[in-house]
Amino acid sequence: MTSPLRVLQIVNSVALGGPVGGAERLGVTLARAFDRAQVQPSVAALWNWAPALEALWQRRLTDEGIPTCVGPAKDDRAPLRNFVEAVTMLARTVSGPVDIIHSQCDFGDVAAILLRRPLRARRIVRTAHNEREWPKRPLRRLLLVNGLYPLAFDAELGVSQRVVAVLDRRPLARLLGRRAIVAHNALDLDRFDGPRVAGDAARQRLNLPHGCGPVIGTVGRLARQKGYEVLLAAAPRVCEHYPHACFVIVGGGELAEDLAARAHALGVADRVFFTGVRDDVEAILPGFDLFVSASLWEGLPTVILEAMASGVPVAATRVSGVVELVEDGVTGVLVTPGEPAQLADAILASLAHPERARAMAISAREFVAAHFDIQVAARQHEAFYRQLVMGS
């Protein structure tokens, strides 16, 4: 019998439910789902973003037999020094050797390369979670993603067909004959298969005012990529038809103040509710009459998967991996990105025809259960890891 492979998952943080996103949840959830006869997982978080949550998840994972280490506090004032400190700390803390280092984040990709020798890793792998990597750092994208990564990594995965197509178009990757592999995001469906939370109870958790409704909700980082300005621009028209409509925006980020000011300027500040970061997304999603994703670009957004798994109707923009999740008119509604009028039309149509919206939500839930179960993804990763190491 072959011994289990030692696989280290690198993420930005293990503060699930806090200031991190789908990439971090995927790395941690995969580690928990692995068959220990096949893979002996460990987890390394580059930074300590939310001390209480980091400590909670570090204890939880360690108790489950998954060695977990957390790097230094995140310090955006000195990012380079902070990153070097994180890599140095992980090199000293993580127990080597490992068979595979698998990065699930942008800084983790660089860390994987630097940790390969100290941890005596046989293979290093990365998953690209977005079609636009390093969106604010085009020079890094050019030097790292287009230049270094096709040479340094033994394999590259992409969370959608679109992400893989972008990776395969890189000139150096084409020259070397390197092809990325599709590895979709996935969910622990048990999070959504417990007792169903009634819509009224979910709304109480959100502390929405009495008589608020319908509720149009979204979840994600408050960043330009997510297109919240477009959603806010669509809100006045929706409120003309539904004066008591509420727009719930769950998440935190650098645009929080700008978006609040924008809602005020549009005259909908009393209809838009910013909840900040929540650690109970699966409990509040049933409180939405409609989940809206206005993203300008994406990978394969976990939040849409979560909404679909919760049985909430979805309206989303026709970008990247979203079209691999939402079939227009079947499992949700798709609109052109960056078009507030189209988004408002889609919201109004969904609210005006609730039975049709519910039918699409049922189809969406069945689709997610059939294709995006973390147990299926874990088996696929195990086979991939074994094949990758056998080639050494």
- pLDDT reading at 195 higher than 50: no
Stretch 3-10: mean pLDDT, rounded? 97
What are 152's two structure tokens?
A: 């340094």
CA-CA distance, 260 to 17, in Å (whole number)? 22
pLDDT for 105-123, tens place per residue? 999 999 999 999 999 999 9
Q: What pLDDT does 178 receive?
A: 95
Burial class (CB in 10 A: 0-12, 13-18, 19+), 337: buried
pLDDT for 287-340, tens place per residue? 999 999 999 998 889 999 999 999 999 999 999 889 999 999 999 999 999 999
The number of beta carbons lying within 10 Å of the beta carbon of residue 347 is: 27
The SS3 of residue 205 is helix
Stretch 366-384: mean pLDDT, rounded? 96
Percent of the chain with pLDDT over 70: 98
Stretch 164-168: mean pLDDT, rounded? 96
Of the pLDDT bands very low, low, confident and very high (cuts 50, 70, 90), residue 1 is low
- pLDDT reading at 74 higher than 50: yes
Stretch 22-49: mean pLDDT, rounded? 96
- pLDDT reading at 196 higher than 60: no
CA-CA distance, 304 to 294, in Å (whole number)? 11
Of the pLDDT bands very low, low, confident and very high (cuts 50, 70, 90), residue 211 is confident
More confident residue, 16 or 61: 61
- pLDDT reading at 40 higher than 90: yes
Of the pLDDT bands very low, low, confident and very high (cuts 50, 70, 90), residue 206 is confident
Q: What pLDDT does 392 receive?
A: 55
- Ordered by where they begin, the domains of the chain are 5-186+373-390 (3.40.50.2000), 192-371 (3.40.50.2000)
The number of beta carbons lying within 10 Å of the beta carbon of residue 346 is: 22
Written as one string, the DSSP assignment of 101-112 is: EEE-SHHHHHHH
On average, the pLDDT of the chain sits at 94
Asked which of 22-36, 79-93, 200-214, 237-251 is least confident by mean pLDDT, the reply is 200-214
Stretch 189-198: mean pLDDT, rounded? 68
What are 237's two structure tokens?
A: 């028209």
- pLDDT reading at 70 higher than 90: yes
Q: What pLDDT does 76 receive?
A: 87
Stretch 3-26: mean pLDDT, rounded? 91
Percent helix, strand and coil across the chain, each rounded to 5? 50, 15, 35
Q: What pLDDT does 17 receive?
A: 78
pLDDT for 123-163, tens place per residue? 999 999 998 899 889 999 999 999 999 999 999 999 999 99
- pLDDT reading at 27 higher than 90: yes
Of the pLDDT bands very low, low, confident and very high (cuts 50, 70, 90), residue 198 is low
